[in-house]
Structure formats: C-alpha cells, structure tokens
Amino acid sequence: MNKKRYKNKRYETRYVKDIKDLIYSSTELFSGRNAYLIKDQPGGDYKPISYEQLKEEMNALGTALLHHGLEGKKIGVIGENRYEWLLTYLAVSCGVGVIVPIERELHPSEIKNLIKRSGISAIVYSGKSEDVVNEATLNLDFIEYKINMDTLRHDENILSLNLLVQEGKELVQSGVREYIDKEIESDVMSVLLFTSGTTGTAKGVMLSHRNIVSNVMNMSKMVNVEGQVGLSVLPMHHTYEMTCHILTALYQGCCVAICEGLKHIVKNMVEARVNVMLGVPLLFESMYNRIWKQAEKTGKAKKLRRAIAFSKFFRLYNTKLPRLIFKDIHDVLGGEINLLISGAAAIDSKVVEDFNAMGLNMIQGYGLTESSPIVAVNMDRYSKWDSVGLPMPGTEIRIDSVDEDGIGEIVCKSDSVMLGYYDDPKATAEALKDGWLHTGDYGYLDKDNFLYITGRKKNVIVIKNGKNIFPEEIEYHLGKSDFILECVVYGLNEERKGEVVVCAEIFPDYELIEEKIGNISESQVRALIKDAIEKVNNIMPLYKRVRRFDIRDVEFEKTPTKKIKRHLISHK
C-alpha cells in the first residue's frame, strides 16, 4: 500500500458544466501549452497541436458541419487513433449533434447494422477505413454525407474534412458564430456508444455531457497528471481511453502523444518523453514479461529478483531510489514514466506490486461504459495492489445479494451513470433501478472501502449445491503457468451424472514452449498443459477443480480492450 498519509487528501478541481466549457476553460488556463503531439507520417517526428489550435479547429469544423445542415443529427466516426478523429468527436458533441464512435475492426455487415440502428446522417472516416465504410454504407440512402479525413477535395456527397475545417475558419472570420455561441444541453444524449459484442447483443449506451464531465472532474480528484505527457494507446472509440485519458488530459493540462500502434509503444514513449500511460492488463503484462525475458537472456534475472525483493522489504515505493536501482528498465521506457494506469479487466496484483517496486508507479481502476466509465479507482498516492480502488467522489457503491463470503453484485449511483440504452427500454429498466446501475459484476468492499472484483455475473458457474464458481478466479491461476497464454473457464452440464463440470479451453504459449523445450508433439503439449492444470487443481477446493480441458491452436477473438469475446466460444 502506498503512503497512507495521503488517503484522505484529494486534489482540488474546477467545475465545468460540459465538454465545450472544459475545452474553453483549459485553453485559457493552459494557454501556450500543447494539447497533442501527432505525426504527419509514420516514423516521422512528433509535431505539436496547441490548446488554441484545437479550440479554433473544433469551432471551425463545428461551424462547417452546421453550415451543411447537420444540426441535431447523429454523425458516426470510424478510424485509427489520430487527431482528426478527436477533432470530429469534439466538434460534433460540442454543438452539432450526437457523435457515434464505431469500432473500425468490425466486419462491414456489423458496421452497417450499427449505422442503421443508430440512424446516422453522416460518417467521418480515415483513408484506411474507406473500403469498409463504402461497403457498409452501400444502398443506405439516409446517409447524407461521407466525410474523408484524408482526401483534399469535395466530391459530390463525399466531403474533405480538411476542406471543411478551412471553410469553417472562413465562416467564423466572416462573423458566423452560430456554433461558437450555441449553449450545450448538458443532460441530453451527446454520445452514443455501442458496447462490445455482436450487433445483435451490442447495446447503445447514451451518455450526456454531465455524465462525462462529472467523471472527468471526480477522477481528477484522485489522480493528477497536470503538466505531463501521456501516450494514447487504446482505441479512442472506447470510453475508457476517451474519458479517462483524452478528456481528463485536456481538463488537467496534460499533453497527449498519439501512439503509432502497438508495435511502436516503446519507441513512441522515448520520442515523446512520456510520463503517463493508460493500458489494459494484456499490454502491461506483456511489458512485464518482456522485462523478465530480457533479464533472463542477459543473465540478470537473479539480480533483478533480489533488487525487487530489496525494494519491497524497505518499502521504497514512491521514492527516488528505485529509479536509480532500476535505471536500465526506466531508460528503455523513455526514462520519464511517472504513472501507469490499468483498467478494462483484472490484472495480476504481482505485476502491479513489482512495477511499483521498480519505481514505475502503477494503479488500477474499475468502470464500465454505462458509467462513463469510472466507478472506482486507486489514488495515485494511496492504493492497494490487488484492489480496483476506492469509490469515486460523488459515487455510491453498494453490494447486492451478498453471499456467505461477502460477495455480491456491484451496484452504483452517480452523475456519471448513463441516460439509458438507445431504443431499448426493457434493457434500460433491467440495468437502471431507482437511479442505481446494476453492473453485472460481482465483488466486495473491504474494511477500508476498497473495491475488489471477483467476476462477471453472467459468467458465474452455479453448481448443484448452490455454490458459485467465478471462472475469472480459476483463469487467473491458470494464467500464471508459463505454458498457458490464454484460457476460458466455463461450466458444462453433464446430464448423465446430473452435475455441472468445470471445463477449460486453453491456448498454449507455443512460442515459449518451443523456446524452452523445442518442437514437441500435440500429445506432449497436452501433457504439459495437463500438468499445469493439476498444479492449479491442487490449490483449489474439489468443486472448483478443472475436470476437462480442450486445447486450441489459435488465439481467442478479443474486443478492442483485449477482453476475450466469451460469447463466441461454443461449449460442447
């Protein structure tokens, strides 16, 4: 646990009534600072976008979109992480209509269904997404405009984003202030976000300005990144990245460097001298494993283990000494990292503790799209490695239907809780009851009011004697094996015996197996995995033990935040 003397100390924050107010006030407060670092071409140098430039171009694009008759309409945006994507999100949500971010990795048929379900009037897209957008919008006559981020000229109903910005600047200079002077209705839908899943199961989460800015303000009381540089790695269409990083950075005066892609993270960290990074467990655990692989390769693993143990024993967390002891590791990451934030899924607490012991301050939080998204987060100066943190200021958390172990469904209430699900009153009524959001996640609160997540309600395996088994717990232990890269645990009804059997589907780490053991047969791989499962079974009560397992030869399909799409796995 980090310094307890900070446990009741929160950072001071300013009130903003909406995202537009956030941007305008930040431009005044942080005049002269950079809002973003972007690259015009792959491998090039980072160039800055100031707060003033962002505000000017947001007003210009918003003015141009109104000029083209898009006021009050829904506008989709799809593409890789880039400045133009952010500009579109901000311009649309701050005075044009409703922004609808769409995941670019979806199949064109799924994108078409989302376009039809949301009823968008225009779609903004990157050049890389042009083909998929053309296929998805084929024969959709309600699409008024397609707006390309990369083309330099208008062509019938395909507009150039660059030209729209220039047109908007000219309109503003001529005295057109319709967009600039427009008041924001903070309690109506301004963002429509579709949750992960197939288009049949994905729900449209309706968020307002109040939902989002209240999350930003309250999060900023817990974590401070003012004056630092963050690296944007996660997909911007996901609310975790958009609210917690992009908008919180704008609010606090933190500059965000846009990463060129997962393969370029370390390079971009060095180039931009990054201090802060938000990520998902898969990203940080991969980083952690690379550190150990490098240590083993260079014969320094024993020395690294001793140094980490030394740091833990003398509780050197949040002191300057670990930066000296682990200088080589810090240098590889650019030498400036102050904070790593993990979210979107559970992370191994040992990874969090070891990173902190190495002087890489790491915390985790918990949230969901329906809460804009953060519900709980560790403070950057007061945290517990294995907890997702304390309830956010202004957030009430209670645990419903508590079992004998104190575990129940996490239910929360705050200004950040969504307006509801788009065009789905039944699902809204199931999720929202008297203003309380029923998250579908199971967990508990400890004596210090820290929240712990144990699993998803819909994943729980209920056996004949009524006991609940959380697959995530078993998956956590299986995942500690060197030879298991990914796994999913589930329950299978065995009709002959009339009981539920715990099963696992496993994707082995074939690369590591070959590196450590060599090229072995399928039966030998199965024997390795069976041995790993038995080791986990030995520490589990009888009813939690894995009785059957299957091995797969390809990775599980995942969401943009690297969660396995469990609904795509057929259990036989």
What CATH number should be reported for the domain whose range is 460-568?
Answer: 3.30.300.30
Query: Is it true that 19-31+46-251 and 262-415+425-453 share their CATH fold?
Result: yes
Q: Determine whether domain 19-31+46-251 maps to CATH 3.40.50.12780.
A: yes
Element (H, E) at 11: none
Q: Name 279's Cβ contacts closer than 8 Å, sequence gap at least 6.
A: 233, 234, 340, 341, 342
For 262-415+425-453, the fitting CATH number among 3.40.50.12780, 1.10.10.60, 3.50.50.60, 3.40.640.10 is 3.40.50.12780
d(Cα 245, Cα 349) in Å, to the nearest integer?
22
Q: One digit per residue, pLDDT tens: the chain, 572 residues?
A: 445 555 668 999 999 999 999 999 999 999 999 999 999 888 899 999 999 999 999 999 999 999 999 999 999 999 999 999 999 999 999 999 999 999 998 889 999 999 999 999 999 999 999 999 999 999 999 999 999 999 999 998 899 999 999 999 999 999 999 999 999 999 999 999 998 654 456 899 999 999 999 999 999 999 999 999 999 999 999 999 999 999 999 999 999 999 999 899 999 999 999 999 999 888 998 899 899 989 999 999 999 999 999 999 999 887 889 999 999 999 999 999 999 999 888 888 999 999 999 999 999 999 999 999 999 999 998 999 999 999 999 999 999 999 888 899 999 999 999 999 999 999 999 999 999 999 999 999 999 999 999 988 888 887 766 677 888 889 888 988 989 999 999 988 876 666 888 999 999 999 989 888 888 889 999 999 999 999 999 988 888 899 999 999 999 988 777 778 877 776 65
Task: State the pTM of this model.
Answer: 0.87
Domains of the chain, residue spans? 19-31+46-251, 262-415+425-453, 460-568
- Amino acid symbol at 145: Y
What does the DSSP 8-state code read for residue 564? B
Element (H, E) at 146: strand 145-148
- C-alpha triplet 366, 90, 191: angle, nearest 5°: 55
E-state strands within 282-431: 339-342, 362-367, 374-377, 390-391, 396-400, 408-413, 420-421
